Amino acid sequence: MIPAIRNTYNQQFTTEKYKAFLEGVADDAGIAPAFRIAETPVFVPKALTNKLVTACEEIIDVLLRPDFKTLTQDAIPPSLKVPNENDHPHFIVIDFAVTREEDGTLAPQLIELQGFPTMFAFQEVMARQFKLHFDIPSNFSNYFNELDDYTYYKLLKEVIIGEFPPEEVILLEVKPEEQKTRIDFYRTEKMLGIATVCITELILEGKKLYYLRNGVKTPIQRIFNRIIFDDLQKQADTLGEHVDLFQELEVEWITHPNWFYRISKYMMPFIHSDYVPKSWFLHEIPVLPTDLENYVLKPLFSFAGQGVLIDVTQADIDQISNPENWILQRKVQYAPAIITPTGPAICEIRMIYVWEDGAARPMLVHNLARISKSKMIGVGFNSKDTWVGGSCCFFEEVQSGY
């Protein structure tokens, strides 16, 4: 995105450096990634950084509306509501496509958002390994709010573990060893000292949860939740006996599962910003646009891009029996803004927020990027390309206060 820096990086790139970088990532995390990591980070110019931050803060303003919970009361499917929801999510991630405006300047457009954690531990590893193996300009940072590697992990420890002993806090997932994101679980364990536990390993006594840590029954005070509950519901019959997480439990959720649905595509029709494509609940559109080819259909209750219809037709809409569970969104045109030795690529940038208990607003802390040369963004859609996959951003002249 910054021609001089991009050209220098491409010219200095070697497969040997990339191989050493990947080996460093695996050594640091304790396991090799189960997805492709791109050959390059994304260098974000200051003007685009400012637009990204502005877009995020406009979205956060909607989240801070006093009527937000009323506004999103139908966002949580009744069968997926979990008791004891707290006042706010501890984590928010906001995904933007990088596009071009009419004047040719780069601009973000919102793609999706979630009240859910992301690859917190792994993204730090990736950024640090990029800095170790490649020449990253000193006036670029992967962090915001003057964080560094030490203060970033200190913040995560405070939010995820708090005052509890690490052994009484777990990272909870469904079949964690089968997840593509398991490298993040390994790194989280290594840095925070908490165990990754499958839902089938939970022990319930009354309303208290326990797990076996090195053969010793250990109480669980907090759950760092990585379960997507509609995915859990789909797999429930194949998991065998496991604890019902939809009941009253004496445990703290970091973050509570209900926020995954409240902060999601469901919010998009309520956000009015130059950086958010126009969106409607499908059942509330009085007249359908005549240029449906310029729109996408998204199911409200899905994840990882599943079920999204890109080339919308009237026939697609006619076949939908539950329009209240879909949104129609103006299509976003990605800009081929990243020049690579094997052709131009598009990208998405995920802005990562942490919201401490007692804080008035969530704080922007880190990022994630996905680089693609296909029609779909995501690490699963680029298995045959190079210079694509998961990545991270380095932002030019990141300022205090972001």
Angle separating helix axes 149-160 and 182-192, nearest 10 degrees: 90
Mark whether 291 and 302 lie in a shared domain: yes
Mark whether 187 and 313 lie in a shared domain: no
pLDDT(376) > 80: no
Question: What is the sign, positive or negative, of the torsion defined by CA atoms of 230, 232, 235, 241?
Answer: negative
Mark whether 180 and 327 lie in a shared domain: no
CA distance 96 to 109: 5
303 pLDDT tier (thresholds 50, 70, 90): low
| Residue 350 exposure: Cα atoms within 13 Å on the Cβ side | 25
- Residue 219 in any domain: the answer is yes
Q: In this predicted structure, what is the pLDDT of residue 310?
A: 86
Mark whether 202 and 290 lie in a shared domain: no
Higher pLDDT, 129 or 398: 129
400 pLDDT tier (thresholds 50, 70, 90): very low
- Residue 92 in any domain: the answer is yes
Mark whether 154 and 271 lie in a shared domain: yes
Mark whether 204 and 319 lie in a shared domain: no
- Residue 298 in any domain: the answer is yes
- Residue 342 in any domain: the answer is yes
Q: What letter would DSSP give residue 277?
A: -
- Residue 121 in any domain: the answer is yes
Please give the mean pLDDT across all residues of the chain: 93
Last residue of a domain, one of 331, 352, 368: 331
> Comparing 245-259, 296-310, 321-335, 351-365, which segment has the lowest mean pLDDT?
296-310
Mark whether 162 and 204 lie in a shared domain: yes
- Residue 401 in any domain: the answer is no
Mark whether 144 and 106 lie in a shared domain: yes
Q: In this predicted structure, what is the pLDDT of residue 234?
A: 85
Mark whether 56 and 144 lie in a shared domain: yes
- Residue 14 in any domain: the answer is yes
Q: What letter would DSSP give residue 41?
A: -
Mark whether 262 and 126 lie in a shared domain: yes
Concatenate the DSSP letters of all residues of 105-139 into one string.
-EEEEEEEEESS---HHHHHHHHHHHHHHS---TT
- Residue 90 in any domain: the answer is yes
Count of helix runs (H) and strand runs (E) in the chain: 10, 19
Last residue of a domain, one of 310, 331, 352: 331
Mark whether 235 and 342 lie in a shared domain: yes
Answer whether 227's CB lies under 8 Å from 50's CB: no
Number of domains in the chain: 2
Domain extent, residue 374, equals 3-277+332-396
Mark whether 176 and 263 lie in a shared domain: yes
Last residue of a domain, one of 314, 331, 348: 331
